[in-house]
């Protein structure tokens, strides 16, 4: 089957977790004999295609990849739909797969081919984004199949009118064979100029409101004096950075919290941590947790989105309510003060990963989903 993947692209320093998942799925399907083509939604006419992170990564993976049209708040949505239809005429795929709300909106208007939308969740972090996400929700039912990355997203799609048999839950997966070699905590301490006995805990991800970092900072404030030699490393960039740095100063945490900005390999940072903390207010199914499981790094996370499918409290990590700094602080305290228990849960998490979230299982599920989408499309045309 010839599959056209459509996803927003941009000029960024490093490939995003969403892009990594898309390319991972592509590799799995390619290995099963499918022909993969990538087209990136470009939001700035000045960008050169060879500078687009997604296009570059897909090309390096051996796929036909290019930018096909522009969609931005100031650009014409109808023109974008027309451009996608032209791309479909050129590529002549058997199926179109949209990743992200922008791709989901425009592919909903291409009935000449079966369509799948991958539902990863909505953030609503700006007014224009909320408008586009609202349109996406209204148009979900027009797709022949929805792939939700968590049970929560599946329930949302059904709530917006998609028949249950057209919503499939296929979780994210991790290709452990492609992971970078681990970097020890001692090596990270040396690189960051910290004492060798510093206990490193960390959070990795976009600095935006829905990631809940302010609650993590308050948790660190609560923990002051309870744990010694601890440094919280926050890796990532985003619109909340200045606000979070200001809160860090207000709470007197300048010598406890360190903002690293974007780093080339977040997984390698995770490999050197004594604890990964995910304080999110909303999530799909976080890749950073899968990476922590692979490196046997203990995890404290909030019970949002697909996180409870990964982190089983008392078994594969610590699970706490969102927006609760005291619960977060207590879980961090418990994990750091009970290293044997933390190791036990991390070992369980590693086994959980290998049993349920492999790329082989993911590719097999996706192949079944492709066939189901085509069949649903054919039924509509009878």
Partners of 258 in the β-ladder? 233
For residues 69 and 79, give the distance between their C-alpha atoms in angstroms, rounded to a whole number: 8
What phi, psi does 334 have (nearest 5°)? -65, -40
User: Which SS3 state, helix, strand or coil, does residue 208 take?
Assistant: coil
203 and 114: one domain?
Answer: no
For residue 254, what are the domain limits? 176-356
Predicted confidence at residue 135, as pLDDT, reads: 87
Residues 13 and 117 in one domain: yes
- The pair of three-digit structure tokens given for residue 8, joined into one six-digit string: 């927003």
Please report which residue ranges of the chain form alpha helices under DSSP H: 17-31, 53-60, 77-91, 101-107, 127-139, 151-159, 185-192, 213-223, 241-250, 266-271, 287-295, 307-310, 325-337, 339-356, 359-381
Contact 296, 353 (CB under 8 A): no
- Residue 132: its pLDDT value, please? 76
Token pair recorded at residue 342:
């933390």
- The answer to whether residues 86 and 35 belong to one domain is yes
How many structural domains does the chain have?
Answer: 2
Asked if 304 and 287 sit in the same domain, the reply is yes
What CATH number is associated with residue 225? Answer: 3.40.50.2000
The pLDDT tens digits of the residues spanning 324-379 come to 999 999 999 999 999 999 999 999 999 999 999 999 999 999 999 999 999 999 99
pLDDT at residue 51, rounded to an integer: 76
Query: 202 and 156 in one domain?
Result: no
C-alpha distances (whole Å) from 212 to each of 203, 216, 219, 252 are 11, 7, 11, 19
Strand partners, 276: 202, 299
| CA nearest to 231, candidates 183, 264, 266, 195 | 195
In a shared domain, residues 181 and 97: no
Same domain as 297, residue 163: no
pLDDT of residue 13: 66
DSSP letter for each residue of 31-71: HTT-EEEEEEEES-TT--GGG-HHHHHHHHTT-EEEEEEE-
Identify whether residues 168 and 139 lie together within a single domain: yes
Residue 133 has what pLDDT?
82
Query: What does the block give as tokens for 365?
Result: 């599920």
Quick check: helix, strand or coil at residue 193? coil
Do 338 and 262 share a structural domain? yes
Q: In sequence order, which residues have a C-beta less than 8 Å from that of residue 256 and are 6 or more positions away?
A: 220, 224, 230, 231, 232
**44 shares its domain with 159:** yes
> Which is it for the CA torsion 207, 208, 214, 216, positive or negative?
negative
Contact, 116 vs 157, CB < 8 A? no
DSSP secondary structure string for all residues of 113-169: S-EEEEE------SHHHHHHHHHHHHHGGGSSEEEESSHHHHHHHHHTT--GGGEEE
**Statement to judge: residues 149 and 236 lie in one domain:** no
The predicted pLDDT at position 28 comes to 97
Give the pLDDT score at 9: 83
Give the chain's end-to-end CA distance (angstroms, integer).
21
Residue 365 sits at the vertex; the CA angle it makes with 362 and 371, to the nearest 5 degrees, is 140
Please give the pLDDT value at position 83: 84
CA distance 231 to 258: 7
- Residues 235, 315, single domain; the answer is yes
3-state class (DSSP) for residue 239: coil
Its pTM surpasses 0.85? yes
Q: pLDDT tens track of the chain, all 382 residues?
A: 999 999 988 777 678 888 999 999 999 999 999 999 999 988 766 677 777 889 999 999 999 999 886 555 455 677 788 889 999 999 999 999 999 888 999 999 988 999 999 998 776 666 777 787 888 889 999 999 999 999 999 999 999 999 999 999 999 999 999 999 999 999 999 999 999 999 999 999 999 999 999 999 999 999 988 888 999 999 999 999 999 999 999 999 999 999 999 998 999 999 999 999 999 999 999 999 999 999 999 999 999 999 999 999 999 999 999 999 999 999 999 999 999 999 999 999 999 999 999 999 999 999 999 999 999 999 988 7
């Amino acid at each position: 089957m010839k599959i056209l993947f459509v996803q927003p692209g941009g000029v960024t320093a490093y490939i995003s977790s969403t892009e990594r998942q898309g390319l991972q799925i592509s590799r799995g399907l390619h290995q099963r004999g499918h022909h993969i083509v990538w087209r990136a939604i470009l939001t700035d006419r000045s960008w050169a295609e060879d500078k687009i992170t997604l296009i570059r990564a897909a090309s390096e993976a051996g796929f036909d990849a290019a930018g096909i049209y522009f969609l931005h708040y100031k650009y014409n949505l109808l023109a974008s739909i027309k451009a996608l239809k032209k791309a479909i005429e050129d590529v002549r795929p058997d199926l179109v797969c949209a990743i992200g709300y922008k791709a989901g909106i425009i592919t909903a208007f291409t009935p000449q081919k079966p369509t799948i939308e991958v539902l990863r969740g909505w953030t609503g972090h700006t007014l224009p984004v909320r408008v586009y996400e609202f349109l996406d929700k209204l148009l979900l039912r027009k797709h022949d199949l929805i792939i939700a990355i968590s049970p929560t997203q599946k329930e949302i799609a059904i709530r917006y009118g998609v028949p249950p048999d057209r919503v499939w839950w296929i979780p994210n997966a991790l290709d452990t064979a492609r992971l970078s070699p681990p970097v020890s905590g001692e090596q990270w301490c040396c690189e960051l100029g910290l004492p060798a006995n510093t206990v490193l805990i960390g959070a990795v991800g976009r600095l935006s409101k829905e990631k809940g970092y302010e609650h993590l900072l308050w948790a660190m404030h609560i923990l002051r004096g309870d744990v010694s030699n601890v440094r919280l490393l926050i890796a990532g960039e985003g619109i909340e950075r200045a606000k979070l740095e200001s809160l860090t100063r207000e709470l007197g945490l300048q010598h406890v919290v360190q903002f690293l900005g974007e780093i080339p390999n977040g997984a390698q940072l995770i490999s050197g941590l004594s604890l990964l903390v995910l304080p999110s207010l909303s999530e799909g199914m976080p890749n950073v947790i899968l990476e922590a499981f692979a490196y046997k790094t203990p995890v404290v996370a909030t019970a949002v989105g697909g996180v409870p499918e990964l982190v089983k409290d008392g078994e594969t990590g610590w699970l706490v309510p969102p927006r609760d700094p005291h619960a977060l602080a207590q879980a961090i305290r418990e994990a750091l003060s009970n290293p044997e228990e933390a190791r036990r849960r991390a070992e369980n998490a590693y086994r959980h990963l290998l049993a349920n979230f492999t790329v082989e299982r993911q590719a097999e599920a996706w192949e079944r989903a492709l066939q189901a989408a085509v069949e649903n499309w054919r039924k509509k045309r009878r």
